[in-house]
Amino acid sequence: MKTMTRSHSAELLRDGKSLEQIGLDFTLESTETTTPDSIRILVQTVLSDKKPEEIPSVVESLLTKVINDFEHRLASQNELVKDTTETNESKSLLITDSPFDTDRSKSLSRTDYLQKESTSTSDLEKATDNTKTDEDDGDSLSAKEDVNTVVPPPSLSDDNVGKCMPKPVRNFDQEQKQIQDLKSNISTIKSGIEQFKLLYSEDLTKLGNHLRIVSHAASGYHKVVEENRKLYNQIQDLRGNIRVYCRVRPFHPGKVSSSSSVAGLEDRTITVMVPSKYGKDSRKSFTFNRVFGPLATQEEVFTDMQPLVRSVLDGFNVCIFAYGQTGSGKTFTMSGPKVLTEEGLGVNYRALNDLFSIQEQRKDTICYDIAVQMIEIYNEQVRDLLQNGGNKKLEIRNSSQKGLAVPDANVVPVTSTADVIDLMNLGQKNRAVCSTAMNDRSSRSHSCLTVHVQGRDLTSGTVLRGCMHLVDLAGSERVDKSEVVGDRLKEAQHINKSLAALGDVIASLAQKNTHVPYRNSKLTQLLQDSLGGQAKTLMFVHIAPEPDAVGESISTLKFAERVATVELGAAKSNKEGGEVRELKEQIACLKAALARKDGDQESIRSTQSSPDIYRMRTGNASSASGHPTEDGNVEKESALGDWADHSQFGSSNSLPELGADGSQDLSFYQRSSPEQQQLSWSGSVATEDSDDFEVATTCSSEQDCMRPSSAPKAPSLASGGGSAARKAQPKGAKSSDVRGVNPAKRATPLQKKSNGASPTLIKKSGVEVRRTPNGKVSAKK
C-alpha cells in the first residue's frame, strides 16, 4: 500500500501535477511510517524531472508542508500525552472496548477513545483480556501507528492502568525519534539544496563565462571575415581584377510582392530563382566581391568602396560604373533619389565630399586641385552636360594631350560640396531622361562624371595625378518590354547596342584576346582606359526584385560574373618624383635641341624624297602658354594647368616596353617630354572601321592607339595628299614636320592601312618595326 501510494505520487509529479498535489500526496502518505530513505527517494523522484530553477521553490514548499505537518502532529501528540497523563492521574479512564481489537481496527483515535468512555463494564473486561494480546503485538504495531493514534490504558484496574501506561510513552518516543529523523533528513535535504544552489550558481557563472567567450569568438569571427574580404580585395587589386558589387533594389512602395526573384542574400552571394517551364523552379547563386540587400543604406554602400575612391588621391585611375536593367536603381546608387536628402546622397556626391575632406586633412603636405567633367553618350553622340545651352558634339580621345578622355568638354574646378551639387543639378537637368513603361524617369543615356585630381607634394615636389570615372549607364532593357516606338525605340536600340559592345569588350578581355573591340561604341571608347588600362575598376550591378524581372536579372548577373573574371593587371599610381621629372625635362630639352639641329637637313631631304609627305602641326611646341592641337591651332591653357603636359595621365603610365629586338623603347621617354607629346600625334592615322589599329598601338604607343577615328586627319597634313603619304613609306623615309624634328629621335608616326589587313609600320630609332593585325612584331633595320 505504501509503495503504491509513493509510486503514485511520483507518477503524479512526473506527470507534471501541481505542487499542492505533491504536498497532498506526501501528507497522505506520511500517515504511515516513512523511513528517511524512502523520503529521500521520494524527494529525489520529485526533484528529478524538475528544472534546476524550479527546484529551490519546490523543495521549499515541500519542506514547509512537512514541517507544518509535523509541528501540527507534535502539538497533537503533546496534547495527547498531556491528556493521557491527566487521565492516569485521575484514574477515571474507563475503557470498555479495547482499541487493540485486531478484528476491527489496529488503532483508535483520541475521539474514538473518548467516545468509549461510556462503554459498559463487560466491554471493559473484554478489553482487559484483549490488552494482553495487544501487549504481545505491541512492538510490531507501535512502529506503524499513526502519530495521532492514542493507545489508551486498556484496563480498569490500577495494575492494568499501570501496565498500559508505557504504551503511549513508548509510541511517543518512537514518534519523537521519527520526527528527529525527519528533521535530520530535512536538514540534510536543506544542506543538499544549498549545495545544489551553490553548484547551480557556479554552473551559471561558468555558463556566463562560456557565453562571453563564445560571443567574443563570434565577434572575432566577424572581424576575420571582414579581414578576409579586405585581403581578398587586395589580392584582386594585385591581380587587377575588376571588382563587382551587386545591389538589390527594394520593392517600390505600395508594390510589395509576396514573392521575390531573389531567394537569398549573403555577404558575397546572391541566389535567384530560376523559373523553369518544366517542373520545379531551381535556384542559382552568384558570388561577387560584395552583395548589398534592399535595406543597405547609401552610406553603407559608399563606405565599402571608399578606399577605392580615395586611391584617386594617391594617383590611381578609378572607374566605377553602374549596370543593370531599367529601373533597377543605378541612378539611385550613383546620384541618389529624385528628392535628395543627406542620407540619400549617392556615390557621386559622397566621393567628391570625401575627396574634399581628405584634401583638407592633407593640405599641409599635399596641394590638391580637383576638377570635374560631366558628359553623356546619347544615341552614340557625346554631349557636354556642363554646358549651358548649345549641343556641341564632342569626341572621345583616350590619350589626348591633356590626358582627358573628352578634352573638349568643360572642365570645372570644384572646391566644395556646394560646387558639386550645383554642377550635378545642371548635369541632371541637361541629361536625356524620359518615361518608359518600366521606369517613370528612365535615363536614356550613359552619363559619366569624371573627377580629375592633381596633387603636388609640398616637400618632395612629387606630382601625382588621378582620374575617376563615375558612370551611370543607361538601363539595359528588352525593347518589347519597354513598349517603346519611334525615337524611344531608336534610343533603346542605341543603348542596347552599346551595352552589347561593352559585353564584347568584357568577353575579349576575359579571354585575354589580343584584339579587343573598344571602338565598336562610344561607351567602350570612353571606358577603354578603365577596362583595358591599369585603372581600378568597380562594376556595380543592380537587380530588381520583381518576379517578372528575373530574366533580366539572371542575364545581368551572368554578365557580372564574367566581368569579375577580367584581370586588368595591377593598377599603378601616376606618381612622378620631382627629380625624375626634372631629369626627364632635361632629357626632353636636349633631345628637342638635337632634333632642331638635325631637323633642317632632314626636312630638306624628306621633302625632296617625298613631296606628298604631310606636315604635322605648326606652332611652338615648347610654348608655355598654349598647346598646339592636331590641326595646328594653339589651345588656350586649360583649367587643369600643366596637367596636359604629362603623358603619365590616364593609361599612358605604362612601363617602357621592349622593342622588337629586345631593346627598350625610347619612345616611352620621348612621350614623357611635353614637347615630344605634342609631336607624338604626327602622322598617326586611324580608320573608323578597324580595331586592328588598337592591336598595333596597344603594344607600341598608347597615345597613338587612342586616337579617335573621327579626329581630324586631312587638316593635320600640312602638305595635303595624306592618303598617299599614309601608304607605306619607303624604307628609311622620314616624315617631316615644320619644326624639322629628327624622326629618328622621336616617336615616329604610326601608319596604318585603311583596310586593316596590312601590317602596321612603326619606326623606332631607325628600326622599322612591323606589327601585324594579330599583334606580332617583326623588326627590320
Ligand X SMILES: Nc1ncnc2c1ncn2[C@@H]1O[C@H](COP(=O)(O)OP(=O)(O)OP(=O)(O)O)[C@@H](O)[C@H]1O
Residue 167 has a CB neighbour count (10 Å cut-off) of: 23
Asked if 328 touches ligand X (CB under 6 A), the answer is yes
To 10 degrees, what angle do helices 36-48 and 166-239 make? Answer: 30
Measured from the CB of residue 524, what is the shortest distance to ligand X in angstroms?
18
Residue of minimal CB distance from ligand X? 475
E strand or H helix at 457: strand 446-457
Which grid cell sits at 246? 551587386
Measured from the CB of residue 543, what is the shortest distance to ligand X in angstroms?
10
Measured from the CB of residue 534, what is the shortest distance to ligand X in angstroms?
29
**Of the two residues 65 and 330, which places its CB atom closer to ligand X in the complex?**
330
Measured from the CB of residue 324, what is the shortest distance to ligand X in angstroms?
5
**Of the two residues 147 and 470, which places its CB atom closer to ligand X in the complex?**
470
| C-alpha span between 152 and 131 (Å, rounded) | 10
**Of the two residues 324 and 773, which places its CB atom closer to ligand X in the complex?**
324
The maximal CA–CA distance of the chain, rounded, in angstroms, is: 171
Interface with ligand X (CB under 6 A), residue total: 18
Measured from the CB of residue 441, what is the shortest distance to ligand X in angstroms?
6
Between β-strands 290-292 and 433-434, what pairing exists: parallel, antiparallel or unpaired? unpaired
| C-alpha span between 691 and 775 (Å, rounded) | 11
**What x/- string results for residues 541 through 570 when contact with ligand X is judged by CB under 6 A?**
-x----------------------------
**Of the two residues 442 and 537, which places its CB atom closer to ligand X in the complex?**
442
Asked if 652 touches ligand X (CB under 6 A), the answer is no
3-state secondary structure of 380: coil
- For cell 592591336, what's the residue? 695
Measured from the CB of residue 518, what is the shortest distance to ligand X in angstroms?
23
| C-alpha span between 290 and 308 (Å, rounded) | 14
Measured from the CB of residue 493, what is the shortest distance to ligand X in angstroms?
15
Between β-strands 393-394 and 634-635, what pairing exists: parallel, antiparallel or unpaired? unpaired
**Of the two residues 329 and 466, which places its CB atom closer to ligand X in the complex?**
329
For ligand X, the binding residue among 87, 261, 401, 442 (CB under 6 A) is 442
Integer CA distances (angstroms), 771 to 42, 222, 253, 683, 698, in order? 100, 53, 58, 17, 11
**Of the two residues 227 and 440, which places its CB atom closer to ligand X in the complex?**
440
Asked if 250 touches ligand X (CB under 6 A), the answer is yes
**Of the two residues 552 and 702, which places its CB atom closer to ligand X in the complex?**
552
| C-alpha span between 243 and 564 (Å, rounded) | 6
**Of the two residues 400 and 443, which places its CB atom closer to ligand X in the complex?**
443
**What x/- string results for residues 393 through 432 when contact with ligand X is judged by CB under 6 A?**
----------------------------------------
Measured from the CB of residue 481, what is the shortest distance to ligand X in angstroms?
12
CA dihedral of 681, 687, 689, 691, whole degrees rounded to 10: -40
CA nearest 135: which of 112, 111, 166, 157?
166
Measured from the CB of residue 542, what is the shortest distance to ligand X in angstroms?
6
For ligand X, the binding residue among 128, 155, 331, 430 (CB under 6 A) is 331
Which grid cell sits at 99? 482499541
Only segment of 6-14, 265-273, 327-335, 401-409 that touches ligand X (CB under 6 A)? 327-335
Which grid cell sits at 528? 577603354
CA nearest 539: which of 312, 316, 290?
290
For ligand X, the binding residue among 73, 243, 249, 431 (CB under 6 A) is 249
CA nearest 506: which of 529, 526, 532, 525?
532
Asked if 445 touches ligand X (CB under 6 A), the answer is no
E strand or H helix at 587: helix 578-609
| C-alpha span between 341 and 156 (Å, rounded) | 109
| C-alpha span between 23 and 12 (Å, rounded) | 11
Stretch 726-765 residues interacting with ligand X (CB under 6 A)? none
Measured from the CB of residue 375, what is the shortest distance to ligand X in angstroms?
17
**Of the two residues 70 and 323, which places its CB atom closer to ligand X in the complex?**
323
- Which residue positions form the known binding site? 324-331
Residue 573 has a CB neighbour count (10 Å cut-off) of: 16
For ligand X, the binding residue among 153, 154, 315, 327 (CB under 6 A) is 327
Measured from the CB of residue 293, what is the shortest distance to ligand X in angstroms?
9
**Of the two residues 305 and 640, which places its CB atom closer to ligand X in the complex?**
305
Stretch 287-326 residues interacting with ligand X (CB under 6 A)? 324, 326
Cβ atoms of residues 541 and 245 within 8 Å: yes
Asked if 488 touches ligand X (CB under 6 A), the answer is no
Only segment of 437-445, 518-526, 545-553, 621-629 that touches ligand X (CB under 6 A)? 437-445
| C-alpha span between 530 and 240 (Å, rounded) | 11
Asked if 329 touches ligand X (CB under 6 A), the answer is yes
DSSP state of 744: G
Only segment of 69-77, 78-86, 330-338, 719-727 that touches ligand X (CB under 6 A)? 330-338
Only segment of 231-239, 269-277, 438-446, 463-471 that touches ligand X (CB under 6 A)? 438-446
Which grid cell sits at 577? 618624383
- Which residue positions form the known binding site for ATP? 324-331
Question: CB-based contacts of 505: which residues, under 8 Å, 6+ apart?
Answer: 516, 517, 518, 520, 524, 527, 531, 532
**What x/- string results for residues 493 through 532 when contact with ligand X is judged by CB under 6 A?**
----------------------------------------
DSSP state of 53: T
Asked if 30 touches ligand X (CB under 6 A), the answer is no
For ligand X, the binding residue among 332, 368, 518, 614 (CB under 6 A) is 332
Main-chain phi, psi angles of 372, to 5 degrees: -130, 155
Measured from the CB of residue 261, what is the shortest distance to ligand X in angstroms?
15
For ligand X, the binding residue among 475, 545, 743, 773 (CB under 6 A) is 475
**Of the two residues 224 and 500, which places its CB atom closer to ligand X in the complex?**
500
For ligand X, the binding residue among 84, 373, 439, 574 (CB under 6 A) is 439
**Of the two residues 397 and 542, which places its CB atom closer to ligand X in the complex?**
542
To 10 degrees, what angle do helices 36-48 and 2-14 make? Answer: 20
Measured from the CB of residue 537, what is the shortest distance to ligand X in angstroms?
19
Beta-strand (E) ranges in 288-388?
Answer: 290-292, 317-324, 366-378, 381-384
For ligand X, the binding residue among 6, 65, 73, 330 (CB under 6 A) is 330
Give the residues across from 325 on adjacent strands: 476
Residue 523 has a CB neighbour count (10 Å cut-off) of: 27
Which grid cell sits at 756? 586593316
Measured from the CB of residue 523, what is the shortest distance to ligand X in angstroms?
14
Main-chain phi, psi angles of 559, to 5 degrees: -60, -45
The residues of the shown chain that bind ligand X, judged by CB under 6 A, are 249-250, 324, 326-332, 337, 439, 441-443, 474-475, 542
